[in-house]
């Protein structure tokens, strides 16, 4: 087709492509008629984002989330009116907590009942209507709007994506009624110049950088706690240079995107509490929760530096961690500024790695302890060995990062701290779609696997040729719920009960059989002696046959 779009739907798709959005994760409905017609008219010339059929919205949003983590580019999802948007909500909450820039679009029930193109013409167009559609996602989105007229679509897309990509990044929402999507574009209203640029991250305040650098340079027991890096790896590079120069240990507490190789001499593990009791300066790098307050008591003279695009995490109502020095700005740029100032104040020192190697060896030994049922530590070590240092782990209540060998930054991705379940499996599919050369392993609990709509995810894996490794940790229980109860009531009745209420997932489905429904390879493993062989066979199937492979592992709790 000509690059002069006829309808607003065509203009929308062209504009997405112009912004570098090359994939549209779509779960269709009656509101998609103009979008589908646009694709038919365009043919296969690549003028529009590639449309991917998503059999469930949970998969659509999580795949888009995963694709962003691999590419650093904004992603677009389109769902069917109110009911489709409802299924997107949990994924939108996950994206908001992880600062992931998604453009979430849903059709909107037609407004008119007459002869206007796109007007209501089937009974659901009355039954699916709501008074305030945007309310479902408003609290989690940076911006939301309903398209009113076809000729505004390009400016609206420009604004939506600029806001989504401006730091701190996050999801935005656009409602698309049928009538404006079907409107013909008035002369001169299409292919207009882009006039909504992404706002660059604020440059860190020099006074804040000076104060932070002075504190770190004078520190005798400094600690860095990192929550996440960036898809480009700039945060990892800047943080590595800083800590290597100053000899500062790095703890990755509940990381959502790792920044260091796990065997880097300054990687001090994943538990913050042992280091914080003696720390005199703590540098928190883009971490919503750097430690658990009721388990940590800082020194009274400890200086806490919080660094990030929004070091106060202002969108969260309650967050009481101390902030003695706030360094606001793009994390990589802020870390580079800190490095330059520390280099002026403190000569390069020896790496403070004493004790880390022994702790690392202790964890490695624990990962080799074979028991029946297997421990998460043992399974973690076996998975790590099977996928190698460059494999990518997407983790949702599955393996434990302390027992993995993570070869470098952006190789371990944990669920966002909103913890909307069902994210891990489809997020791994999104990463595999973005980079087909990488071996991606989705390591999930049995509850998370069921939440992910595994039949839908399996269909996507087969349809799009995304042979990932899925490791299902089967313990038959909501273990996070059990642990939370034991933590609050360690001597309570529930702790002494033979069966704890509202935790059991038994009788369990045959997860390996579910995987075979989509013609994937699968095996259930309850013998620790068989695990390494099963994982090796799974990797062979992935690489030689191009099929998804699922290993269901019986673990204890």
Q: Report domain extents, the chain.
A: 8-182, 206-356, 367-554
CATH architecture, range 367-554: 3-Layer(aba) Sandwich (3.40)
Say how many Å lie between the first and final Cα of the chain, rounded: 58
Bond preceding residue 507 cis, omega within 30 of 0: yes
432 within 8 A of 463, measured Cβ to Cβ? no
How far, in whole angstroms, is CA 154 from its chain's centroid? 28
- pTM given for the model: 0.95
- How far apart, in Å, are the Cα atoms of 90 and each of 86, 142, 154, 256, 416? 8, 16, 28, 17, 11
CB atoms within 10 A of CB 527: 12
How many helices and strands (H and E) does the chain possess?
A: 20, 17
Q: Do domains 8-182 and 206-356 have the same CATH topology?
A: yes
Residues in the chain, overall count:
557
CATH dotted code for 8-182: 3.40.50.970
* Three-state DSSP class for residue 491: coil
Beta bridge partners of 504: 477
Which residues, 6 or more positions from 321, have their beta carbon under 8 angstroms from its beta carbon? 284, 289, 290, 291, 293, 304, 306
* Three-state DSSP class for residue 24: strand
489 within 8 A of 335, measured Cβ to Cβ? no
Residue among 138, 130, 58, 135 nearest 90 (CA)? 58
The C-alpha atoms of residue 48 and residue 54 are separated, in whole angstroms, by 17
The C-alpha atoms of residue 102 and residue 108 are separated, in whole angstroms, by 18
Residue among 56, 175, 35 nearest 111 (CA)? 175
The C-alpha atoms of residue 77 and residue 54 are separated, in whole angstroms, by 10
pLDDT at 2: 52
- In the block, tokens 């009531």 appear at 489
Cα-atom radius of gyration of the chain, to the nearest Å?
25
pLDDT at 23: 97
The C-alpha atoms of residue 429 and residue 423 are separated, in whole angstroms, by 10
Please, what is the Cα angle at 243 between 413 and 258, to 5 degrees? 0
CATH dotted code for 206-356: 3.40.50.1220
pLDDT tens series, the chain, 557 aa: 456 899 999 999 999 999 999 999 999 998 899 999 999 999 888 899 999 999 999 999 999 999 999 999 999 999 999 999 999 999 999 999 999 999 999 999 898 898 889 889 999 888 889 899 999 999 999 999 999 999 999 999 999 999 999 999 999 999 999 999 999 999 988 888 888 889 888 889 999 999 999 999 999 999 999 999 999 999 999 999 999 999 999 999 999 999 999 999 999 999 999 999 999 999 999 999 999 999 999 999 999 999 999 999 999 999 999 999 999 999 999 999 999 999 988 877 665 655 687 888 889 899 899 998 999 999 999 999 999 999 999 999 999 999 999 999 999 999 999 999 999 999 999 999 999 999 999 999 999 999 999 999 999 999 999 999 999 999 988 888 998 999 999 999 999 988 899 889 899 999 999 999 999 999 999 999 999 999 999 999 999 999 999 999 999 88
CB atoms within 10 A of CB 152: 16
pLDDT at 454: 97
Strand intervals (E) in 61-171: 75-79, 102-108, 144-146
Beta bridge partners of 552: 472, 524
Q: How does strand 549-554 pair with strand 521-525?
A: parallel
pLDDT at 1: 43
- How far apart, in Å, are the Cα atoms of 185 and each of 5, 10, 15, 74, 178? 7, 9, 14, 26, 14
Which residues, 6 or more positions from 544, have their beta carbon under 8 angstroms from its beta carbon? none
- In the block, tokens 């909103």 appear at 418
């Amino acid at each position: 087709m000509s690059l002069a779009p006829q309808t607003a739907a065509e203009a929308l798709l062209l504009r997405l492509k112009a912004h570098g959005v090359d994939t549209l994760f779509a779960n269709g409905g009656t509101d998609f008629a103009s979008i589908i017609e646009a694709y038919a008219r365009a043919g296969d010339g690549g003028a529009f984002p590639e449309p991917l059929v998503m059999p469930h919205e949970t998969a659509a949003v999580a795949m888009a989330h995963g694709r962003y983590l691999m590419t650093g580019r904004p992603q677009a999802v389109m769902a069917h009116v109110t009911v489709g948007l409802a299924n997107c909500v949990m994924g939108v909450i996950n994206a908001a907590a992880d600062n992931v820039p998604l453009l979430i679009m849903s059709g909107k029930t037609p407004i008119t009942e007459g002869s206007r193109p796109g007007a209501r013409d089937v009974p659901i167009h009355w039954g699916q209507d709501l008074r305030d559609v945007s309310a479902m996602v408003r609290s989690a989105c940076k911006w939301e709007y309903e398209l009113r007229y076809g000729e505004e679509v390009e400016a609206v897309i420009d604004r939506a994506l600029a806001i989504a990509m401006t730091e701190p990044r996050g999801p935005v929402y656009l409602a698309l009624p049928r009538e404006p999507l079907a409107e013909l574009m008035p002369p001169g209203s299409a292919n207009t110049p882009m006039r909504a640029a992404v706002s660059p991250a604020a440059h860190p305040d020099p006074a804040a950088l000076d104060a932070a650098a002075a504190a770190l340079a004078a520190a005798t027991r400094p600690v860095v706690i990192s929550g996440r890096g960036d898809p480009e790896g700039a945060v990892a590079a800047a943080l590595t240079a800083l800590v290597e120069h100053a000899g500062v240990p790095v703890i990755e507490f509940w990381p959502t995107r790792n920044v260091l190789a796990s065997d880097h001499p300054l990687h001090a593990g994943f538990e913050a509490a042992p280091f914080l009791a003696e720390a005199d300066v703590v540098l928190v790098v883009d971490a919503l929760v750097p430690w658990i307050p009721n388990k940590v008591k800082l020194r009274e003279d400890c200086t806490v530096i919080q660094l990030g695009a929004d070091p106060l995490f202002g969108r969260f109502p309650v967050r009481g961690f101390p902030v003695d020095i706030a360094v606001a700005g793009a994390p990589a740029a802020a870390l580079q500024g800190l490095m330059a100032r520390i280099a002026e104040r403190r000569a390069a020192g020896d790496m403070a790695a004493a004790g880390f190697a022994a702790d690392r060896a202790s964890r490695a030994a624990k990962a080799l302890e074979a028991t029946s049922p297997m421990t998460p530590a043992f399974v973690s070590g076996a998975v790590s060995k099977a996928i190698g240092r460059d494999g990518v782990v997407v983790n949702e209540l599955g393996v434990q990062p302390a027992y993995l060998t993570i070869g470098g930054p952006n190789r371990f991705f944990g669920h966002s701290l909103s913890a909307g379940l069902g994210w891990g499996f489809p997020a791994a599919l999104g990463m595999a779609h973005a980079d087909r050369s990488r071996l991606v392993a989705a390591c999930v609990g049995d509850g998370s696997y069921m939440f992910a709509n595994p039949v839908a995810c399996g269909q996507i894996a087969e349809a799009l040729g995304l042979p990932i490794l899925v490791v299902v940790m089967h313990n038959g229980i909501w273990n996070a719920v059990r642990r939370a109860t034991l933590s609050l009531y360690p001597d309570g009745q529930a702790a002494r009960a033979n069966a704890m209420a509202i935790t059991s997932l038994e009788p369990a489905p045959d997860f390996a059989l579910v995987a075979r429904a989509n013609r994937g390879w699968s095996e259930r493993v309850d013998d620790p002696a068989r695990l390494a062989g099963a994982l090796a066979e799974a990797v062979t199937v992935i690489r030689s046959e191009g099929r998804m492979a699922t290993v269901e592992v019986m673990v204890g709790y």
